[in-house]
Structure 1
Amino acid sequence: MTQFQTAKFGLGQIVRHREESFRGVVVDVDAAYAGPANEPGPDQRDQPFYRVLAMGEGAGFLIYAAENVLEHDPDVAPLSADEQSRWFAMDGLGHIAPRAQPIH
């Protein structure tokens, strides 16, 4: 039986990727790996996974990352409600996506 963990990071929170050395903002959270089943995925699928919109130089891309490769970035505050509405769209069910991406 799969056991789910509580997600450590929330929508709009700024995180650092430990291996790729960039900052990003959390735009979606899955309780466990929800990537393609027919493709090789991470070994540890029973942890929260996040869609993170990269920030900074060369940014603007989305990654799908496991919680164990992300860490809180204490140097940057989470986005305010005004900043969130500037960068993200929200549908009637509360799903959030970058304005340039459709909500799935």
Structure 2
Amino acid sequence: MKQRSAKFGIGDVVRHKFFPFRGVIFDVDPEFANSEEWWNAIPAEVRPHKDQPFYHLLAENSETEYVAYVSEQNLERDQSPEPLRNPQIQQIFEPQQTGRYKPKMNFAH
């Protein structure tokens, strides 16, 4: 298996390149680690490669907050000055510091 470094880290605020949502990363898988059912639900023409980091996000869009699982190729740093509103953020992270969140000690790996 090819050694690969993750582009983003826990606490980074990111946004999806193609869909209108953003969030904070709370976990990283070095490669795809979700179910085949989840994988097959993605249309084949937009399905990302499995051999890249995948990120667990406390995500939000204009309507709701949720947990998302997103490939590295579909994420970019979020430049918005707007704070995230996902209520789960306060359970895992300290208040935002300069564009990223610091994990609380009891949630750090």
Let me know the Cα RMSD of the aligned residues: 2.4
- 1:9 equivalent to 2:31? Answer no
Give the secondary structure class of the aligned counterpart of 2:73.
helix
- Equivalent residue in structure 2 for 1:68, among 44, 65, 73: 73
Superposed CA offset, 1:1-30 (max 9, x none): x32421011111100111112110001100
The list of structure 1 runs, each at least 4 consecutive aligned residues, that deviate by more than 3 angstroms after superposition, is: none
Indicate conservation of the 8 Å contact 2:59/2:68, yes or no.
Answer: yes
TM-score where L is the length of structure 2: 0.65
Distance 1:10 1:43 in 2: 20
Q: How many equivalent pairs are there? A: 86
- 1:45 equivalent to 2:50? Answer yes
| Structure with greater helix percent | 2
Higher relative contact order (CA 8 A, sep 6+): 2
Superposed CA offset, 1:37-69 (max 9, x none): 455264400000001111354332011100000
Identity %: 34
Change (3 A) 1:57 1:12: same
Distance 1:29 1:11 in 2: 7
* Stretch deviating more after TM superposition (30-39 or 4-13): 30-39
Give the secondary structure class of the aligned counterpart of 1:51.
strand
Distance 1:52 1:14 in 2: 9
The match for 1:78 is 100
The match for 1:29 is 28
Q: How far has the Cα of 1:89 moved from its partner?
A: 5.6
| Structure with greater strand percent | 1
Indicate conservation of the 8 Å contact 2:48/2:73, yes or no.
Answer: no
In structure 2, stretches of 5+ residues that fail to align are 82-98
